[in-house]
Structure 1
Amino acid sequence: MIPSPPLSPAAVPPLPVPVPRQKQDADYVFFELTRSICPECRRVIDAHILLRDNKVYMRKRCPEHGTFEGLVYGDAQAYTSASRFNKPGTIPLEFTTPIKDGCPHDCGLCPDHQQHACLGIIEVNSACNMDCPLCFANAGAGFNLTLAEVEGILDHLVATEGNPEVVQFSGGEPSIHPQIIPMIRAAKARGIRYVMLNTNGKRIAEDDAFLAELNEVRPSIYFQFDGFESATYERLRGEADILPKKLRALDRLAEIGLGVVLVPAIDREVNLHEVGAIVQFAIKHPAVHGINFQPAFMSGRHGTHDPMTRLTIPDIVQAMAAQTEGMFTPQDFVPVPCCFPTCNSVTYALVDGDNVLPLPRLVNVEDYLDYITNRVVPDLAGDIKTALEGLWSSSAVPGTDKAAQQFALSCEACGIPEALDMGAFAKQVFMIMLQDFMDPWTFNQKNLMKCCKEILLPDGKQIPFCAYNNVGYREQARTQLEARERKRNQARRAGTAFIPEPLTFDFTPKRPTSGHSPTPLLHVLPKKARATVKKAVVDGPRH
């Protein structure tokens, strides 16, 4: 056999040249590491704060339920620069719970918490005279706190705060609680300067006797008001025709001279386009001294949503600037230092007829509330700084003499006369606040530890608002308070003494029972949806 001649070098096929792999840059900036919760099981997990396309996102991974990502803030530049407004916290006189399991499972308040209660919230009931599709409290039949329980809560708040500034009665719908007027009196009797009633306004619109009682006890009114369109109220409140009642309630409050803060829940797909109209209406209405815009957050009862497109504070401010033709601009809003600065922004304006002049255009508020670069600057006027801190606080109540005095002291350039009728001047000072509450997709332990809005419970518990709504405190508290009410009623019928068991919270992970599908969370759905789900559970799936 004759061997084949060797191939010439030209005939040898060339070996493929390996293409070097290219490293890729991430499409985001890793900004910080924090702790959050799984939106499914509420397990505490690590979370990354990421900056991408001038927005801020949270990404986290649960070992059981996978990766989640949600939009946190619509302006990365504002978010990253907000730390200079982070005021040192004020420590309460007393803590209630020890550090045992770590944040967020030791509330509260425990010694790890970094701020006192600027605002104490007492949910006096779970019942409501509405059935809103959007309701962080999952309002529905359940419990009513007694007057004695509320008095105990107030006494504990005085013990921890010394001189509490603001208490808000909420629910449910607190106006339908049979003892709400005595509860307001109890708060005022303890020297709490500002007592607020959080209400949808229905009873105020319809009940003359209740209006007269409000005129006697004179709380500030924190008033649910989402816009003017029927579609807005149908989607957010389940009542397309409720606006006339709300307008009637506001007019009746104006007649008795009670100050009102409007509280619109703003959803990107529902009523973002109404922000400007709400501002224009509020400034002109004689009862209204401020607005607290709240981006809709997905705690409790809510519809389907995309956490990547949720609404944030910068989105509302930008919409406001466009819809008011510059009456208010993003530069007019400054973060609130007492909580974590990205949670809350506010501005004040002097209103004189059609003229609206935001305070930050007269005073460089940022210079006074910058706690990093200006901490050692000696020439900042102490009185002005103190006044601005009072205004830029979660305890500020617009329409009051105190707010007017702080505004006047802050505004040396306003030409305000020294001899000033503060009651009349207070009506010219208008506040716009934006409050972004966290939900399970955006829950940030760092922010939580400086929360200054606390849910006040019987037995001395004070739970930061966003922990109460997201971690599991609300569900456990409601179950125990409902059981407490049943036992109290049983004891009353039997003629025996009733000694309630203290509220306790347990976050030990519960293993699901094998072989069974999870029970639908009916309590997070409005009534119509609950009925549909119940029928499906009873009838079984349709094929």
Structure 2
Amino acid sequence: VIKGVNFQPVAFTGRIDQTEREKKRITIPDFLLMTEEQTNGTICRDDWFSVPQSTSISRFIAAMLNKQVLQFTIHPHCGTVTYIFKDGDKLIPITRFVDVDGLFEYLDEISPQISNTNFQIKKAGLTSKALHKISSFIDQKTAPQSINVTKMIMDFFNKGTGEALKPFHRNSLFLGSMHFQDPYNFDIERVQRCGIHYATPDGRVIPFCAYNTIHRQEVEAKFSKPFYS
């Protein structure tokens, strides 16, 4: 069962002519436009959001449960995602029935209030208020009718656990794109906020794009061993 598809635009290695490179280069915005075109608007450019936007949810769960949770704080140019639901013969992106931007803005507003409250009764009151408000960002009329999406989403927000999130993933298709860098589009700010790393035998932890672009040949020359069949 395929539950997710992640697209990786090509990264160039070695020397390449600028004209040829520009002709073959596909950026994340290019990918979004091609997806919109090839799905006849079923999945359009506005249906996607950047990976670090998910930290709005992570911070809320952390505030609600009063503990640290994983946050994907990578650079916004590194990746984009969306979720697709099937309703009969139709494919419905999550953004068609969830006000994602409004939800994230509200979570960013309420999470610090919950985190900064030391009184448990007040914290519980703020959390209860927030959970009630969160449901208002979901439009059940435009949501898939074959499944209760509102219940799945609210179950997760109420419990904040990986187990509670499983029904959401079982009933949706994850779509994503991550654009790895090459020498022609290398961005230091992206490297500084990398979320995928290589660990080398000499104990270094190197960001993925920096490893492929700068360090790979040196590391392989130093540590590789011949394989004999």
What is the TM-score of this pair, normalised by structure 1?
0.28
Q: Residue deviations 1:184-231, cap 9 Å, x none?
A: xxxxxxxxxxxxxxxxxxxxxxxxxxxxxxxxxxxxxxxxxxxxxxxx
Query: In the alignment, which residue of structure 2 is the partner of 1:25?
Result: none
Distance 1:353 1:449 in 2: 44
Residue of 207, 216, 219 corresponding to 1:474: 216
Q: Taking structure 1 as reference, are residues 422 and 448 closer, same or farther at Cα in structure 2, changes over 3 Å only? A: closer
Per-residue deviation at 1:304? 5.5
Distance 1:458 1:467 in 2: 16
Distance 2:102 2:9 in 1: 28
Q: Is the 8 A contact 2:79 2:177 kept in 1?
A: yes
Per-residue deviation at 1:360? 1.6
Distance 1:297 1:410 in 2: 39
Whether 1:335 aligns to 2:50 is yes
Distance 2:166 2:189 in 1: 39
Per-residue deviation at 1:293? 1.1
Q: Is the 8 A contact 1:332 1:360 kept in 2?
A: yes
Per-residue deviation at 1:303? 6.5
Whether 1:355 aligns to 2:95 is no
Per-residue deviation at 1:294? 1.3
Higher helix share: 2
Per-residue deviation at 1:363? 1.7
Q: Is the 8 A contact 1:383 1:409 kept in 2?
A: no
Distance 1:383 1:480 in 2: 58
How many residues were matched structurally?
Answer: 169
Distance 1:382 1:451 in 2: 32
Distance 2:100 2:168 in 1: 20
Distance 2:194 2:131 in 1: 25
Whether 1:291 aligns to 2:26 is no
Whether 1:312 aligns to 2:27 is yes
SS at match of 1:316: helix
SS at match of 1:342: coil
Whether 1:366 aligns to 2:109 is no
Q: Which runs of 5+ in 2 are unaligned?
A: 53-72, 114-125, 135-148, 157-163
Query: In the alignment, which residue of structure 1 is the partner of 2:159?
Result: none
Distance 1:316 1:332 in 2: 13
Higher relative contact order structure (alpha carbons within 8 Å, sequence separation ≥ 6): 2
Query: In the alignment, which residue of structure 2 is the partner of 1:433?
Result: 176
- Which residue identity is paired with 2:153? L
- Which residue identity is paired with 1:464? P
Q: Is the 8 A contact 2:74 2:193 kept in 1?
A: yes
Per-residue deviation at 1:351? 1.9
Higher strand share: 1
Q: Is the 8 A contact 2:47 2:95 kept in 1?
A: yes
Q: Taking structure 1 as reference, are residues 319 and 383 closer, same or farther at Cα in structure 2, changes over 3 Å only? A: farther
Q: Taking structure 1 as reference, are residues 336 and 467 closer, same or farther at Cα in structure 2, changes over 3 Å only? A: same
Whether 1:344 aligns to 2:87 is no
Distance 1:424 1:328 in 2: 22
- Alpha-carbon RMSD across the aligned residues, in angstroms, is 3.7
Query: In the alignment, which residue of structure 1 is the partner of 2:153?
Result: 409
SS at match of 1:434: strand
Distance 2:183 2:133 in 1: 39
Q: Which runs of 5+ in 1 are unaligned?
A: 1-286, 386-404, 413-420, 490-543
Per-residue deviation at 1:374? 6.9
Q: Is the 8 A contact 2:201 2:223 kept in 1?
A: no
Q: Is the 8 A contact 2:84 2:172 kept in 1?
A: yes
- Which residue identity is paired with 2:43? F
- Alignment of structure 1 residues 85-164 onto 2, 5 Å: none
- State percent identity of aligned pairs: 28
What is the TM-score of this pair, normalised by structure 2?
0.61
Q: Taking structure 1 as reference, are residues 354 and 457 closer, same or farther at Cα in structure 2, changes over 3 Å only? A: farther
- Which residue identity is paired with 1:328? I
Query: In the alignment, which residue of structure 2 is the partner of 1:455?
Result: 198
Q: Taking structure 1 as reference, are residues 366 and 456 closer, same or farther at Cα in structure 2, changes over 3 Å only? A: farther
Q: Is the 8 A contact 1:359 1:411 kept in 2?
A: no
Per-residue deviation at 1:428? 2.4
